[in-house]
Structure 1
Amino acid sequence: METIDLLGWAATAVLIATLWRQIWKQWTADDPEAVSTWLFVGQITASVLFIAYSAATGSVVFVVTNSLILLTAIAGQCLSWIKRRRAGK
C-alpha cells in the first residue's frame, strides 16, 4: 500500500462513520418520514455506478469505499421501511 492510500482510507473511515451516525439519527427520530426513500434510491444507484467506475479504474480504495456506502444505503432503506411499517405508514 502506498502512503497516499492512507489518505483515501482515512477519508473512507470518516465518511462511513458519518453515514452510520446519520442512519442512527434517522432510526431514533420520532418521525418515520424523517428521510426520503428517494435519498436511498439515489445513493444506491450512485454507489453501484461508482463501484463499476472504481473497479474499471483499478482503485481499491474507492471500490471498498463505495461498497461500504452502498451497504449503508441499503441498511438505511431497510431501517426506514421497518420504522414506517411499525408506525403504520
Structure 2
Amino acid sequence: MDKEVLTEAIGWAAAGILLLTVGRQVYTQWREGSTRGVSKWLFVGQIAASVGFVIYSALLGNTVFVLTNSFMLLTACFGQVIFLRNRRREQRRAGGLAAGKTG
C-alpha cells in the first residue's frame, strides 16, 4: 500500500470515529430530552472551531478535513438546536412544578 493511500485511510478512519463520537452525544441528548451533563458552550465552541477548520482545510486543499469539519459543523448546529430545545423544556417543567407548589 502506498504512503498516500495509507495516509488518506488513516484520515478518513479518524474522521469517522470523530463524527460517530459527537453524533452519539447529539443522539443521546435528543433521545433523553435532557441537557444534563452537557455544557451550554460545547456546541458553540464546536461550531466556532468547525468553521475555522473548514476554512483552514479548504485553504490547504485537504478534502478529508473539509468534509469532516463540514459534517462536524452540521452536527454541532443540530446539537445546539437540540440543546436549546431541551433547555426550554426543562425550564418550562421547572416553572410548572414551581407554580404547582405555590398554587
Q: TM-score range by the shorter chain?
A: 0.7 to 0.9
**Equivalents in 2 of 1:39, 1:32: separation in Å?**
11
* Alignment size in residue pairs: 88
> How far 1:27 moved relative to its partner?
2.8
**Equivalents in 1 of 2:47, 2:61: separation in Å?**
21
Cα deviation code 1:1-48 (max 9, x no counterpart): x41211111111111111111112223447434312211111100110
SS in structure 1 opposite 2:20?
Answer: helix
Query: Structure 1 residue runs of 4+, over 4 Å off?
Result: none
5+ long unaligned stretches in structure 2: 95-103
**Equivalents in 1 of 2:33, 2:13: separation in Å?**
33
> How far 1:83 moved relative to its partner?
0.9
**Equivalents in 1 of 2:10, 2:74: separation in Å?**
22
Cα deviation code 1:63-82 (max 9, x no counterpart): 00111111111011000111
**Equivalents in 2 of 1:66, 1:30: separation in Å?**
26
SS in structure 2 opposite 1:37?
Answer: coil
TM-score, scaled to structure 2: 0.75
The range that moved more, 6-15 or 59-68, is 6-15
Distance 1:17 1:29, change over 3 A: same
Q: Which has the larger radius of gyration?
A: 2
1:51 corresponds to which letter in structure 2? V
Counterpart position of 1:72: 75
**Equivalents in 1 of 2:63, 2:33: separation in Å?**
38
